Amino acid sequence: MTSQGQSLNSTLDDNCQVNFRGTLLTIDSYLGDQDVERLKFLCRDSIASKNLEKCGSALDIFDYLMAEERLSEEDPSFLAELLYIIKQRVLLRHLRYTKEQVEHWLPGRRKVSLFRNLLYELSEDISSENLKSMIFLLRESIPKVQMTSLSFLAYLEKQDKIDEDNLTLLEDLCKKIVPNLMRKIDKYKREKASQAGAPPVTKETESLHQGEKELFSHSDINQLLGALPEVSWQDEHAQRNGDRATPVSVEMLGASVDTLTSETSTKETAVYRMDRKHRGLCVVVNNHSFTSLSERPGTNKDAECLKRVFQWLGFSVHIYVNVTKGHLEEVLQQFQTHPGHADGDCFVFCVLTHGKFGAVYSSDGELIPIRQIMSHFTAQQCPALAHKPKLFFIQACQGEEIQPSVSIEADAVNPEHVPPSLQDSVPVEADFLLGLATVPGYVSFRHMEEGSWYIQSLYNHLKDLVPRQEDILSILTAVNDDVSRQADKRGKKKQMPQPAFTLRKKVVFPVPQEELLL
């Protein structure tokens, strides 16, 4: 080959290398600190510990993987597997993979070990409360430093307290703190024994041989249900009335599913997906001052709390202050067509203002029906939010219709008005939730410095119960109980919030890695 030809090939190779590194740079731009920690954990078997400790970004990890020849333009499958595991599946397109392609080849080409996968899956299901309990049980052997579930499991592994053949300590912890995680450990044992060619003899496998079928994990069920059509009216009706769905169990031969019946009394309920690229958008309309109505002191405390808690949950929060009717329509149009919905899990819209039953006031004194606000986000008007939960929280106040005690103001509808059903404000179609600060016909209250009873209780219960993996309706039930127990200084004025919803599944927010500080 001539020197000119060699130079041309070298140039082409350099260009390819630059293009691939450009792809990795793009992927890195979408990954946050939590993603980097997850990648570092999943790469513990592929990159030396001393090198992993130096990694401060995904780019550092990519460099080490390429140096170890675990990642290249010709074979980016390991990175595809990592992105799939940490649920950044929308980024697979940058590697020219689809989620379905990865799912197809992953069982036979898996590079992340079964043990590493197990620990990662367990970490995803260990809440902050569970983690505190586990650390408490091992306090004498665990350093007094802040830990995540991942760093906790990594520490146990580093100290040789657990390994792929010794899960005794982990089993003891799970049995005492999170018994349902034993299913994942048992599944790991069966898969590991299958790779070795002989199934383990345990009580669990004996019961399987006697006819009990293995249930899918929560994530398996969610993926399966996500691929099915909308639930039937009977299923939707049952879920609205609090019944739990029949569990899904399957036997698999290759990639085919032979049955969808259950032979155990364990019950699982369908849960909305929460594994897309973004958690979603949260809009807060905070009206403090009005042209013809009284001001709403304390509302800024509510707005700040909503911003903090929904940012903590992963939402991108947008706050609008003293919004006129015209401006509100502009905001509704903007978010009706917002491109961020496509990769989002959920949508939240909060209104803090004066109001009457079924309607809220703009800052220029115009009364706007709640149903009109919510109608902008139906599947027909906003296709990107179809089949996704849409949550609306309304702290609506009537102003000075009722004279409260010194530090409490009335913050709801006219108590002398007898309204129609609250359900009339909710769109007919599925996947909506409307949380009102009060039942129809009664007042809600707002402390002039500390904020409203309802929003403050919502903030505190989201902060406390999301880490316990409670669903949104359970959280709102706790809010109802909390607010109903509160009263003004004279003990005479009380309040009861009320939700109305057409949700088809449970809304369970993933547990944030960071604790929400007061």
Neighbours of 158 (CB within 10 A): 12
Q: How confident is the model at residue 481 (pLDDT cuts 50, 70, 90)?
A: confident
pLDDT tens-digit readout, 168-213: 999 999 999 999 899 999 999 988 887 765 444 343 333 333 333 3
pLDDT of the residue at 297: 86
354 as an active site residue: the answer is yes
Single out the catalytic residue among 218, 338, 354, 376: 354
Single out the catalytic residue among 174, 282, 397, 461: 397
pLDDT tens-digit readout, 291-311: 998 888 889 999 999 999 999
Q: Which of 187, 202, 220, 194 is nearest to 118 (CA)?
A: 187
Q: Does 399 have pLDDT greater than 50?
A: no
Query: Burial, 451: exposed, middle or buried (Cβ in 10 Å; 0-12, 13-18, 19+)?
Result: buried
| Rg of the chain on CA atoms, in Å | 26
SS (H, E, C) 330-374: HHHHHHHCCHHHHHEEEEEEEEEEEEECCEEECCCCCEEEHHHHH
Q: What is the Cβ-side half-sphere exposure of residue 292, based on CA atoms within 13 angstroms? A: 7
Q: Which of 95, 90, 100, 99 is nearest to 342 (CA)?
A: 90
Q: Which of 274, 147, 151, 279 is nearest to 222 (CA)?
A: 274
Q: Read off φ and ψ for residue 349, nearest 5 degrees.
A: -135, 120
CA 458 to chain centre: 17
For the full predicted model, state whether its pTM sits above 0.85: no
Q: Which of 105, 34, 115, 40 is nearest to 76 (CA)?
A: 105
Average pLDDT, rounded, for the chain: 77
Q: What stretch of H or E contains 283?
A: strand 278-286
CB 40 within 8 Å of CB 86: no
Q: Does 51 have pLDDT greater than 50?
A: yes
Give the whole-angstrom CA distance, residue 255 versus residue 366: 58
pLDDT winner (highest mean) among 53-57, 143-147, 294-298, 328-332: 328-332
SS (H, E, C) 177-221: HCHHHHHHHHHHHHHHHHHHCCCCCCHHHHHHHCCCCCECCHHHH
397 as an active site residue: the answer is yes
Q: How confident is the model at residue 494 (pLDDT cuts 50, 70, 90)?
A: low
Contacts (Cβ under 8 Å, ≥6 apart) of 91 = 27, 30, 83, 277
> Is the pLDDT higher at 156 or at 231?
156
Running DSSP on this structure, what letter comes out for residue 425? G
